Structure 1
Amino acid sequence: MKTYNKLLLLFIFLLFCEGLQAQSKPSWIWYPGDFEVWLGNKMQSRRTERGTFLPPFWKFDSHYVLIDFHKDFDLQEAEEAELYVEGQYNVKIDGKAIFGYPNRLSIPAGKHKVSLKVFSQDKVPAIFVKGKKVVSDSTWLVTYEDKEWIDQSGKASDQSGTTWLKAAQWNFDNAATPPSAYALPTVPQSPVKTEKLGKSLLVDFGRETFGFIRLHGLKGRGEVAIYYGESPEEALSIDHGETLDRLDVQFDQKKDTLTTLTKAFRYVNVQLAPGMTVDSVSMLYEYAPVKDRGSFHCSDEEINKIYDVAKYTFHLNTREFFIDGIKRDRWIWSGDAYQSFLMNYYLLYDSPTVTRTLLALRGKDPVTSHTNTIMDYTFYWFMGIQDYYLYTGDRSFVEQFYPRMKTLMDYCLSRTNKNGMLEGLAGDWVFIDWAEGLSKQGELSFEQLLFARSLETMATSAALINHQEDAVTYGEMAKKLKSAIMAKYWNKEKQALVHSSIDGKQTDNVTRYSNMFGIFFGYFNADQQQGVKKNVLLNDKVQKITTPYMRFYELEALCALGEQSYVLKEMKAYWGGMLKEGATSFWEEYDPSKKGAEHLSMYGRPFGKSLCHAWGASPLYLLGKYYLGIKPLSPAYETWEVVPELGGLKWMEGKVPTPAGEIELYCSTKEIRVKSPVGKGTLRFKSKSLPKVKGGGGLLNKGNGNYEITIIKGKDCVVKYN
């Protein structure tokens, strides 16, 4: 009887599993990375300046135009499945072609192979199959290689060597909305003020924004000129405003009209031809439908304001991808994106935007130039994958795209000099930062540090997917390069890495860049860290950094050295300085010595500066990782630590997202409260006397006033300390 019951339970379980399989949700599927490349090309081709198309200056790759999809099924009963395809297609069942372009598939009971070949030049070849068990999902296999041969038995077979990958999918789970129809949502918004200035309407939307302009009740014949501005000065500058639209209107009756291309603006200057009228102006705000999961709030209202504006800045620059700025360039720059990835982990925790951006940046083989043509931006791409795995634990992404990592690293290694280092060659842009007088000659210590970190990424990625030979090779390369960096660039007298080496000799120049990266890369010993802190990071004689881009790393290095009090003051001075200048989003660059309209100029143009730049949102990352003090120690927060640092604040509270939910923290000068839904956490803090603990996994005295407590998953931990 007991045996019978066990068999009955097993039978019920198998039926349950079959039911789950039958309920599998269909999705549009395509070749991995192709949708991201296609969408990236489409988005990056939207930039205009003064109404003229301005394309990127790097190579565009394309999706594969002919893709083979297949999957083997074992059906208990015959079924019919609906079929939708993006492109021309051929369908085979068990190698036998089906006549015409069927929109339904009839599959008999038993074991069968369903195959489709799809061609599409203008969009990504994709399929959507909806049946009971025959559904399109990531278990299908895809290839762009045509290696189907007829064997001696007359049956179709795949020649050895064909590369089959698991199909890619996202959230396109409706047959009526294929990947080619993807668009961001919009919502109507009204201006806060409209002012008539002669023949113009100056419309103010209250803060930096992004979207389409709608003209209500437009009537007349002639040209409507729309001048966009992140400032009133820019909107009113007919000759020098960066973006504009000109509409040819022939309306004898009142009509509403909508611009066809999104723009960034706060102010819009609408000019009508003589005899034309318009009732009002509004906009459609375009946004990425992502939600905040992280948060930060504290006792300092200026810091709260900085956090809120940073959050808004980040949302504006989170679109189909993480882009640099919404006015210009509206492109996917790897250096900008890398910082956005880090901010994302502390605010949105949105993996699809990270992976889309990584894939669009990488493109296809063969590799013929550095990412965005910039040497350092290639290395940020590698580092982005390392961080992505740490924060998400997504091993499958690394496994699937490791071949593209390897071919990109092969390109880098092919360009090393006799010393095994990289320096700018023909076609390379060595960027580092926007800084006057910054030398790009010779072997730059900064580039070698990023190169070493990228080799470490290759080693850990190879080990992760059991490519042990690669792991050893890349690990040895990284170790050798790190040793060469310290030997070539470390100056004992200056207690810092010098900026460059030319003809085998150290230059005298010391800059902040390689030294601050050496701190949070963990490449310095304790004495070297203190030397860099004193002689570089806290030394006003070393050239200062004026871009939020590199202030990000400078302040991170200082936080890593325990200088949260100093960094808090710097945040208030730098980002608070932009707020005092009227910023409603954070800028591409801020120099407190400039006044008035001087803040708007850059690149030799009066309004060339972006007043909404993703890299300006770095307080999101700094406050989450170095004040709340929460970070993963192993992938997907399997183990993690929280080291709260008030840095002069009276109290702070916030959330940091993880795969399983949010880690919550409250910290004041007398109390710490932590709650986590994930992994094994360790709370580290200082107290002058023995703290009182409730709900933790045991208090450990580490000496010198340092204590540790294990955070138990799902349980509140409350610490009273002083």
Structure 2
Amino acid sequence: MLSTKISLKTKLLAILTFLSFCSPVLAQNQATWIWYPGDFEVWLSNKMQNRRTERGSFFPPFWKLDSHYNLVDFHKDFDLPASEEVSLFVEGQFNVKIDGKAISGFPKKITVPAGKHKVSLKVFCQDRVPAIFVQGKRVVSDASWLVTFEDKEWIDETGKASDQSGTKWLNAGFWNFNSASVPPSKFKLETKVQHAVKVEKKQQSLLADFGKETFGFIKLHGLKGKGKIKIYYGESKEEALATETCETLDDIDVSQTKKSNMTMELSKAFRFVNIKFDAAVSLDSVSMLYEYLPVADRGGFRCSDEQINKIYDVSNYTFHLNTREFFIDGIKRDRWIWSGDAYQSYLMNYYLLFDSPSVTRTLLALRGKDPVTSHVNTIMDYTFYWFIGINDYYQYTGDKTFIQQFYPRMQSLMDYCLSRRNKNGMMEGLTGDWVFIDWADGLSKKGEVSFEQLLLARSLETMATCASIVNDTEGAKKYNQLATDLKAKLFSNYWNDEKHALVHSRVEGKQTDNVTRYANMFAIFFNYLDEAKKQDVKKHVLLNDKIQKITTPYMRFYELEALCALGEQSYVLKEMKDYWGGMLNLGATSFWEEYNPNKKGDEHYAMYGRPFGKSLCHAWGASPIYLLGKYFLGVKPTSAGYQTYLVEPQLGGLQWMEGAVPTPDGDVKVYCSTKQIKIKGAGGIGTLRFKSQIKPTCQEGTIKALANDMYELTLEKGKSYEVTYGL
């Protein structure tokens, strides 16, 4: 074990750093660091995404990276009952004004007189985000301050300042950096010491097994001598031992340091590390600093099936590993922010963490700045996931402020999409567009792909919703009409009565023969199909083994969601046990980027033409969190922010299950067996809907009978209920 003495100052700094991760809820008159909204997220994402290496080489992202605004104006009007002394902390060069009159120098304190006054700071900083922390009794920096990157003011020949301005002011951005001593530029994830569970030590090598997939900084102890050390990282033992083909490594020259202990500069993903060193070098032991975002679980799930419990636990761990500064795709290879991967993380987050800042940070990092020159991540469907992610964020959180701040960026991105439609008003891959959909052998991306039109239709519906929120009446009308027209085209151009499904694509104005699962399953949970078409799709596509099967957890997520939406929880439970259970049977300690049960041995590790290219810890592998919360516990919002919500528990063959689903105002707690349902409501008004073969009873509320043995019970705010029923 490491023995270190930690100073009181270090402990306090650690506490303050931890608090900076908490959800952004500020006490009255509490100061926090503020910046131009979206800028810290862009700056931080640039730092994070450019840490990727491949066998020691720098590996930057494929897409354009924007930057923060380096000159920002901050101001707020105050009405003070008495004068007060105010402390200023600034990242960058700055001037400060009271009522437009500049105060000389770079003061650390100013006095604001009693009465009505405007306090203004203008900050320049290139290497970090211009940010301020203002601390007085009432004069404090918070999200109510207004900011701009261009003040559009001028002075005429008489020296008179303009009395009108075209400046666009926004509310400041923040993320609970609530201590003057912990500015945004000092942000780091937390770390804690972990030790290997098994070490094989030989004369000039050491193989350490940390017991499960993990992420952090390798630390070498008791270094002596001069020479070279090479560290080969592996998500599997096979990868760590494959010194010529493992994905990540470190190359160290011990002669350049006099330290007996050394911590690697970059954090990496691994379970195994294979350390080889020259004969003139000796090494006592190895440990690691596990790196993580300290966010606590609010949701949970347990049931009568222990394998499902294990699947849930490993999904939880997988999700936490990929919840870092942002929601990333996988911890070994890319460590980038991919919109399609992140979209699924948003949904899992609503059923586990309910950490809104992680969602908004990721959305802002993905969007970047204007002008728009390409799709998000260069991928057409990933642009549409970005829009749909905002729709879901509003439904789960009810946060209108985010939409009001960033609606212009939504408009410019949608304008880009609409400008790239073909003569038929359809999306078709142009030069520079990556039409991804899924990793699937032989999947055609040619022509007008039905899946892309469907995602665009949903994105246009999102734009209409957001336009209404910001009172853009004309925009709401325009986007609604575009969505209606595109949905009509979707069915007139792609639905095939003989195939009972939407075909995959049109090429040169004609339907192709190919039917794939993608557009069909999304059309189900987007509720674009009538009941007859839903049943057609279920029979002829989703439950049809002749249709190309899906092998990625990424699209299994949506396939199983569609089946859950059709009431096929029993089928989904079996598929979950076979698919995710199959990975567990192969020794998985986190869930993978792709799993094909037909592969053997080391074939499971290969991808992208490389023997260890596959990620064995991928965010999209954690989807059981979402499926079990939304479709088994059955909790989902029916209006924004869970003002109203539905609880529709479905056992799917389980004998019992229990869990919690977080909301903006408390957690919905559910227990369900074949004979009893117990529920504690959250802050909104809920509806419990269930099926019973006997007449149910409940002392705490009045049960309403519906058709086909269905019943409903209204759930009042924060109240607990027990229902006796029978399946």
TM-score (structure 2 length as normaliser): 0.95
Which residue does the alignment assign to 1:9?
A: none
AA of the residue aligned to 1:488: N
Query: Which residue of the other structure, out of 706, 709, 712, is the alignment partner of 2:710?
Result: 706
Query: Which residue of the other structure, out of 579, 584, 593, is the alignment partner of 1:579?
Result: 584
Query: Which residue of the other structure, out of 37, 44, 53, is the alignment partner of 2:49?
Result: 44
Q: How many residue pairs were aligned?
A: 701
Q: Quick one: distance in 1 between partners of 2:505 and 2:350?
A: 33
Which residue does the alignment assign to 2:276?
A: 271
Matched, 1:604 2:633: no
1:82-136 CA distance string (max 9 Å, x none) = 1111011112222222211111112222222211111111110001111112111
Change (3 A) 1:252 1:312: closer
The unaligned stretches of length 5 or more in structure 2 are 1-25
Q: Quick one: distance in 2 between partners of 1:305 and 1:82?
A: 52
Q: Quick one: distance in 2 between partners of 1:237 and 1:185?
A: 31
Residue 607 of structure 2 aligns to a residue whose secondary structure is coil
Which residue does the alignment assign to 1:497?
A: 502
Residue 688 of structure 2 aligns to a residue whose secondary structure is strand
Percent identical among aligned pairs is 70
Change (3 A) 1:158 1:271: farther
* Paired residues of 1:220 and 1:277 also in contact (CA < 8 A): yes
Matched, 1:194 2:199: yes
- Aligned ranges 1:443-462 → 2 under 5 Å: 443-462=448-467
Change (3 A) 1:694 1:155: farther
Matched, 1:400 2:381: no
Residue 387 of structure 2 aligns to a residue whose secondary structure is helix
Question: Displacement of 1:677 after TM fit?
Answer: 2.3
* Paired residues of 1:229 and 1:266 also in contact (CA < 8 A): yes
Which residue does the alignment assign to 1:244?
A: 249
- Aligned ranges 1:93-104 → 2 under 5 Å: 93-104=98-109
Residue 275 of structure 2 aligns to a residue whose secondary structure is strand
Query: Which residue of the other structure, out of 21, 34, 43, is the alignment partner of 1:29?
Result: 34
Q: Quick one: distance in 2 between partners of 1:620 and 1:243?
A: 29
Q: Quick one: distance in 2 between partners of 1:378 and 1:568?
A: 31
Which residue does the alignment assign to 2:18?
A: none
Q: Quick one: distance in 1 between partners of 2:158 and 2:549?
A: 74
Matched, 1:474 2:479: yes
1:400-437 CA distance string (max 9 Å, x none) = 11010000000001111111110000000000000010
Q: Quick one: distance in 1 between partners of 2:622 and 2:724?
A: 33
Q: Quick one: distance in 2 between partners of 1:709 and 1:121?
A: 58
AA of the residue aligned to 2:232: Y
* Paired residues of 1:219 and 1:252 also in contact (CA < 8 A): no
TM-score (structure 1 length as normaliser): 0.96
AA of the residue aligned to 1:61: D
Q: Quick one: distance in 1 between partners of 2:149 and 2:658?
A: 50
The unaligned stretches of length 5 or more in structure 1 are 1-20
AA of the residue aligned to 1:249: V
Which residue does the alignment assign to 2:224?
A: 219
AA of the residue aligned to 2:177: F
Which residue does the alignment assign to 1:653?
A: 658
Question: Displacement of 1:197 after TM fit?
Answer: 3.9
Q: Quick one: distance in 2 between partners of 1:73 and 1:716?
A: 45
Question: Displacement of 1:520 after TM fit?
Answer: 0.4
Question: Displacement of 1:156 after TM fit?
Answer: 3.4
Which residue does the alignment assign to 1:720?
A: 724
Question: Displacement of 1:571 after TM fit?
Answer: 0.3
Query: Which residue of the other structure, out of 219, 235, 238, is the alignment partner of 2:240?
Result: 235
* Paired residues of 1:149 and 1:159 also in contact (CA < 8 A): no
Which residue does the alignment assign to 1:3?
A: none
* Paired residues of 2:525 and 2:561 also in contact (CA < 8 A): yes
* Paired residues of 1:219 and 1:251 also in contact (CA < 8 A): no
Residue 481 of structure 2 aligns to a residue whose secondary structure is helix
Matched, 1:353 2:358: yes
Q: Quick one: distance in 1 between partners of 2:59 and 2:490?
A: 40
Q: Quick one: distance in 2 between partners of 1:135 and 1:253?
A: 46
1:185-234 CA distance string (max 9 Å, x none) = 10001110110245210000000000001111111111111110000011
* Paired residues of 1:224 and 1:271 also in contact (CA < 8 A): yes
Matched, 1:631 2:636: yes
* Paired residues of 1:218 and 1:251 also in contact (CA < 8 A): no
Which residue does the alignment assign to 2:319?
A: 314
Question: Displacement of 1:254 after TM fit?
Answer: 6.4
Which residue does the alignment assign to 2:492?
A: 487
Which residue does the alignment assign to 2:79?
A: 74
Deviation larger for 574-583 or 251-260: 251-260
Matched, 1:111 2:154: no
Matched, 1:544 2:544: no
Change (3 A) 1:461 1:23: closer
Deviation larger for 541-550 or 456-465: 456-465
Which residue does the alignment assign to 1:17?
A: none
Query: Which residue of the other structure, out of 145, 148, 156, is the alignment partner of 2:153?
Result: 148
Query: Which residue of the other structure, out of 677, 681, 696, is the alignment partner of 1:691?
Result: 696
Question: Displacement of 1:155 after TM fit?
Answer: 4.6
Q: Quick one: distance in 2 between partners of 1:411 and 1:253?
A: 55
Query: Which residue of the other structure, out of 385, 388, 391, is the alignment partner of 1:386?
Result: 391
Which residue does the alignment assign to 1:424?
A: 429
Query: Which residue of the other structure, out of 337, 343, 367, is the alignment partner of 1:338?
Result: 343
Change (3 A) 1:494 1:121: same
Which residue does the alignment assign to 2:568?
A: 563
Q: Quick one: distance in 2 between partners of 1:564 and 1:74?
A: 59
* Paired residues of 2:697 and 2:703 also in contact (CA < 8 A): no
Q: Quick one: distance in 1 between partners of 2:83 and 2:693?
A: 74
Which residue does the alignment assign to 2:686?
A: 681
Q: Quick one: distance in 1 between partners of 2:228 and 2:571?
A: 55
Q: Quick one: distance in 2 between partners of 1:187 and 1:536?
A: 48
* Paired residues of 1:26 and 1:129 also in contact (CA < 8 A): yes
Change (3 A) 1:22 1:662: closer
Residue 208 of structure 2 aligns to a residue whose secondary structure is strand
* Paired residues of 2:153 and 2:165 also in contact (CA < 8 A): no
Residue 693 of structure 1 aligns to a residue whose secondary structure is coil
Change (3 A) 1:196 1:112: same
Deviation larger for 269-278 or 652-661: 269-278
Q: Quick one: distance in 2 between partners of 1:711 and 1:141?
A: 41
1:54-105 CA distance string (max 9 Å, x none) = 0001000000010011112222222211111101111222222221111111
Which residue does the alignment assign to 2:3?
A: none
Query: Which residue of the other structure, out of 435, 442, 448, is the alignment partner of 1:437?
Result: 442
Deviation larger for 253-262 or 144-153: 144-153
1:451-483 CA distance string (max 9 Å, x none) = 000000000111122111110110000000000
